[in-house]
Amino acid sequence: MLQQVNQTEARDLGWSCQGVSPLDEPCDSSATFYCAICERRFCAVHAEDETWHTCVLEPGEEGGES
Ligand SMILES: [Zn+2]
Ligand SMILES: [Zn+2]
C-alpha cells in the first residue's frame, strides 16, 4: 500500500519521515512515500522497513510465539 510521492513536491511541502523507530530515534529525511495503512509519510529507506511502520505491529503481540 505504499504510494510514491513526487520528491520535489515532498520537499516543497516540507514533509519529513514520520516513521516510528523501534529505538525511538527520529528521522528527518524528506518523505517520499506515503503508507495508506498507518497514514504516515516515510523516507525511501523507512518506507521499506516494516519496523518503522505502526501498521505492521499486531496489537498485543509482544511475547512472540515461535
Ligand atoms: Zn505503514
Ligand atoms: Zn525515515
Ligand nearest to the CA of 19: 2
Q: Which residues contact 3 (CB under 8 A, 6 or more apart)?
A: 33, 34, 36
Ligand nearest to the CA of 15: 2
pLDDT at site 59: 61
**How far apart are the CA of 17 and the centre of ligand 2, in A?**
5
Q: What strands lie across the sheet with 40-42, from one edge to the other? A: 2-4, 33-35, 40-42
**How far apart are the CA of 36 and the centre of ligand 1, in A?**
7
pLDDT at site 42: 95
Q: 33, 41 in Cβ contact below 8 A?
A: yes
DSSP code for 9 = H
Q: What is the pLDDT of residues 6-51, one digit of tens each?
A: 888 867 888 999 998 988 888 999 999 999 999 999 999 999 999 9
- pTM of the full predicted structure? 0.74
With a cut of 90, say whether residue 63 has pLDDT above it.
no
